[in-house]
Amino acid sequence: MKILYAIQGTGNGHVSRAREIIPILKKYGELDILISGTQADVNLDEEIKYQFKGFGFDFGTKGGIDYKSSFRKADFSQLIKDIRNLPVKDYDLVINDFEPVTAWACKLRGKKSVALSHQSAFLSPKTPIISGIHLGAIILKNYAPATDKVGFHFERYDDFIRTPVIRSEIRNLKPENLGHYTVYLPAYSDEFILKKLSKHPGQKFQVFSKHTREDYSQENVEVYKVNNEKFNLSLAKSEGLLTGGGFEGPAEALFLGKKLLCVPMFHQYEQQCNALAAEKMGATVIWSEKEFDQKLNHWLKNAEPIQVNFPDETEEVIKNLIEKYS
């Protein structure tokens, strides 16, 4: 069986999930890997058959997406060429983790494909979403179309939705509480984060930053370059995680039994919906910058750890897909 597995490279969640899925896919056939996007901090450590620029959104430093930078960097003519030239017909099974080149190449050629992603969970009307009409909802439904889908979310809101893929390296950790808080807020500048955390001199924070080239300390805050192994250990030994509105990071914190505070990017529909779902599970959410100080203070003093035992379903999910398309 010849398999193409396409991965969205923006952010860390897709690549982290791929690290678990790729070894399983290799058991079932000849695997080629495609990745598009450029903002991941986690290495895949696999041979990449196709690497494209694709089209993604840049994180800013003020709590949201930098749309000007995103569209300035976009090369739509190259994107169209990549879609037209990708030989998806050569594969028996095409699996897509929110990657647009492969998705649209399959759609334009009438090739069946499977969306295996967190974003697929939003195709169910049962998944928690924020109220109102949002451009982000349209983007989620049309960015990487597929003929079949398996979604991942905090709960099994629908028949095709499974619980999160928790990395083996996280499952194998032995969590403890050494009293510090782990912080990962890539959409904010270090200056903003340090200003907020310095108001709590009695607490220790370990910040993992996309915006620094050197590790450094400032009063009660240690700032590190993003490093997967260091982050995992910091989280495992922390009292809690202060992070954005992503999916995999909060899921890992819940699995490890940590306090969780989410700061979803403003005007980023998916992150806002993720935060809503996390809030329903007991997490604290900062919905606007004006409530940042008050909610952070309350969370540090009063929040309780949340323990969620997400079962390891990854092998079963992949086996079911292989059997369906063999």
**pLDDT value at residue 266:** 85
Say how far apart CA 60 and CA 41 lie, in whole Å: 16
pLDDT at 59 over 70: no
pLDDT in tens, 256-265: 999 999 999 9
Is residue 267 one of the residues assigned to a domain?
Answer: yes
Asked whether residue 223 falls in the same domain as residue 126, the answer is: no
**pLDDT value at residue 215:** 97
Can you give the residue range of the structural domain that contains 6? 2-166+312-325
Say how far apart CA 163 and CA 277 lie, in whole Å: 13
Q: How confident is the model at residue 70 (pLDDT cuts 50, 70, 90)?
A: low
pLDDT averaged over the chain? 92
Asked whether residue 68 falls in the same domain as residue 111, the answer is: yes
Say how far apart CA 206 and CA 185 lie, in whole Å: 11
Q: How confident is the model at residue 324 (pLDDT cuts 50, 70, 90)?
A: very high
Say how far apart CA 310 and CA 63 lie, in whole Å: 29
pLDDT in tens, 13-38: 888 899 999 999 999 999 999 999 86
Is residue 30 one of the residues assigned to a domain?
Answer: yes
DSSP-assigned letters across all residues of 104-147: HHHHHHT---EEEESGGGGGSTTS---SS--HHHHHHHHSS--S
CATH of the domain at 174: 3.40.50.2000
Asked whether residue 232 falls in the same domain as residue 191, the answer is: yes
